[in-house]
Structure 1
Amino acid sequence: MEERITNYQLVVMIILFEIGSTPLFALGSSAKQDSWLAMLAAAAAGFFLLLMFVSIQRRAPEQDIVRLLRICFGKVAGSVLGVSFAIYFAYESMRNVRDFGEISNLTLLNTTPKYITMFIILLLASYAIMMGVDTLFRVTETLLPIVAISYGLLIFLISIAHLIHFDNLLPTLEDGFKPVLRAAFPDMVSFPFGQTIIFFMVWHMLPEQKKVKKLSLTAYTIVSLFLILMNIINITVLGTTLAANSTLPFLQTVQLIEVGDIFERLDVLVTLLLFLGLFVKMTTFFWGAVYALAHIFPSLRKATWLVIVGSLIFITSFLEPNYSVHVWLGLKFSVKLYPLFQVIIPLLMFIVIRFRKIPAPKATSDI
């Protein structure tokens, strides 16, 4: 029997997934004080991308991305593309595993080898996946209040500590729209907004298919506004130069908090928030890769694919020699390839599926 999720679980997952590791980086820093405008432009583009994704899903509400690809491009080509998407999901998960290891090594666990923390987090993710979709989504339900209250507290303390200087946002559009658009496209669209492509693996599990569009777009709008706010906070507190050159800008922002002699040294809280975000995004991509491969190659059990994909993620996470190369590869190179999966193939699907007769859904086994 197909597993199902609730409306609230979908909203929570979209919010926590999109937050993910995004506060780790000074996105759009090439636009300087207009980086928040670049994020706004990217979020708007991502909104229309998500609208296209949902439109595709509504044509075949009971299908995941593997079946949708087969409907659009045929069984063979669709399966090949399905494997490609599974590899893409696994690669995204690998990047988050490496982020987790590096951040823990830089902050809380300086003397612990990063391969140990990376192995432990993969084990936890594997356990959540083995327990099924319901367990994974219940975890996010538990985490949302913690994340919301913690970020709210940090933003409040930053405000009352008089760290925000809105002069750092001026002059607006000093060099026109070109730097803003160059920063937004394709990099910031690809990360984080285009990553909603993973929800093709989720939407068919919602019992009330008519609410997919409303719930997804509402959750996306909420988290987009939050990410724009976080970008503004980093710029107004650190300034453009420091924010652009900081490894972890929001962490550096929070380290400046001093309210009386009570609220200070809250960087541990930020690190824990980043860990939660990384775990949700990493596990979701990991689960998406396993789920897709289990559909394409049903002769192998889910547990087998879990071991295969998990092992590949762990091994490949060490291919990059250091964290600087890892960040450069992710923010300067990989984001240029993501539009193939986030824009080009979905656009072809959108065109084809509008004219393709959709077969009636078949009963599927629980994956």
Structure 2
Amino acid sequence: MERVSTYQLAVLIVLFELGSTPLFALGSKAKQDSWIAMSLAGAAGLLLLLLFLQLQRREPELSLIGMLRKYLGSFAGTLAGWVYVFYFAYESMRNVRDFGELTQMALLGSTPLYVVSTVVMLIAFYAVASGIETFARVSEVILPIVVLSYMLLILLILGSDLIHLDQLEPVLENGWTPVLRAAFPDIVSFPFGQTVLFLMLWSLLDKKTGMRRVSFWAYGSVAVFLILMNALNLMILGPVLVENSTLPLLQSVQLIQIADILERLDVLVSLLIFFGLFVKLTLFYWGAAQAAALLSRTKRSVWVVVLGLAIFGSSFLEPSYTYHVWLGLEVSVKLFPLVQVVLPLLLWMTVKLRRMPASPPP
């Protein structure tokens, strides 16, 4: 049976939560208060994480699929399990499309989208087929590169005198309503609620004792970083430019200029996003294949091929990148709470009811 260490779990959570999140202007409808919306969503995501960890603590050796079938029954549990297969595969598809489109925009403008998508899917296919242990070891190599690169970018931004604190004012100009609308459910769904995937992974930990602590600190560190990056983009570009920019982080980094030597660092940002996107699409791909294998009681290798082809093919269904972003950030995030909040809460309540002691006879 495959196993991962608690350190590898922390690495996967950090890279997974980072993903493509710094790329987008999340909460931009709240204008200069989008960082507050991110903060509220991060706190809500932490509550969801604690819910997921509580479920896993009840059944430390069962994955999400095992818990669904045990507590919701064979039929309802299996049906809910296939909903998660579709959700994980859909999320993986979205990241494949993001990977291809970003490559065209930032690096390889004349390379066809299908070429980039084919390459990244072949690499992801190999990673998923190799197993989660192998992929976790690869992620251990990626994490230091990502952390050091983000630290370098932040230092260069600070050294370029691009930050203007007044861009964050006035605070709560239009009250709490725009902030709450930006945070719920959109930012909670993406990226914080996506940690539901780790209900497929926690059961594979070699030591369960550090699961809660490691997951909490890994999530918390990424959430704080994402809030700071959101505020940083606002202080550099201002709320109007951030709201109307397709890729605000790239636009911010393009402004870095130190002594006419260090400039045009958007390639570095692109590489960082590629790392995050690859980890995220591969983990969702693995989660979908693992869940489908458990539900159908067949070898995972079969589903790695079937779902790989489905993810690759469906990544071309959306007619444009603008439509892709609109569908993901305006429509899909409104539906994701079904699998990120509703079903886990239903499962938790069922677990609590099943474990309640029977009342004594009168």
- Map 1:321-336 to 2 at 5 A: 321-336=319-334
Cα-to-partner distance string for 1:285-339 (whole Å, 9 max, x where unaligned): 000000000111123x222111110111111111110000000000000000000
Residue 228 in structure 1 maps to residue 227 in structure 2? yes
Deviations 1:218-246 (A, max 9, x none): 11100000000110110000000101111
What residue identity is the alignment partner of 1:45?
A
Aligned mates of 2:100, 2:84 — CA distance in 1: 25
Equivalent position of 1:43 in the other structure: 42
Match of residue 342 from structure 1: 340
Partner of 2:293 in structure 1? 294
Amino acid at match of 1:256: L
Partner of 1:18: 17
Match for residue 312 of structure 2? 314
Using the TM superposition, name which of 290-299 and 196-205 deviates more. 290-299
CA distances 1:34-75 after superposition (whole Å, capped 9, x unpaired): 000000000000000000010011000000010010112011
User: Equivalent residues in 2 for 1:249-288 (5 A)?
Assistant: 249-288=248-287
Deviation digits for residues 197-223 of structure 1, max 9, x if unmatched? 000011001122122111111111000
Q: Which amino acid aligns with 1:102?
A: E
The 5 Å alignment of 1:1-367 reads 2-299=1-298, 301-356=299-354
C-alpha separation in 1, matches of 2:67 and 2:261:
55
Q: Which amino acid aligns with 2:295?
A: I
SS at match of 1:353: helix
Ranges in structure 2 where 5+ consecutive residues have no aligned partner: 357-362
The C-alpha deviation readout for 1:325-356, integer Å capped at 9, x for no partner, is: 00000000000000000000000111111232
Moved over 3 A (4+): none
2:328 corresponds to which letter in structure 1?
G
- SS of 2:156's equivalent? helix
Cα offsets for 1:160-200 (capped at 9, x unmatched): 10000010000001111111101000000000000000000
Partner of 1:365: none
Aligned length: 356
Partner Cα separation in structure 1 for residue 316 and residue 195 of structure 2: 26
Residue 210 of structure 2 aligns to a residue whose secondary structure is helix
Unaligned stretches of 5+ residues in structure 1: 359-367
User: Hey, what does 2:360 align to over in structure 1?
Assistant: none
Residues of 2 paired with 1:16 and 1:156: CA distance? 21
Distance in structure 2 (CA, Å) of the matches to 1:232 and 1:347: 32
Equivalent position of 1:362 in the other structure: none
Per-residue CA distance 1:1-24 (angstroms, 9 max, x = gap)? x21111110001100000000011
Instruction: State the secondary structure of the residue aligned to 2:185.
Output: helix
Which residue identity is paired with 1:216?
Answer: S
**One-letter amino acid of the structure 2 residue matched with residue 43 of structure 1:** G
CA distance in 1: counterparts of 2:226 and 2:194, whole angstroms: 14
One-letter identity of the residue aligned with 2:48: L
Paired residue type of 1:130? A
SS of residue matched to 2:353: coil
Counterparts of 1:167 and 1:174, CA distance in 2: 13
Q: What per-residue deviation string (whole Å, max 9, x for no partner) do you get for residues 54-101 of structure 1? A: 001100000001001011201121111111101100000000000011
SS where residue 109 of structure 1 aligns?
Answer: coil
TM-score, with structure 1 as normaliser: 0.96
CA distance in 2, matches of 1:102, 1:327: 11
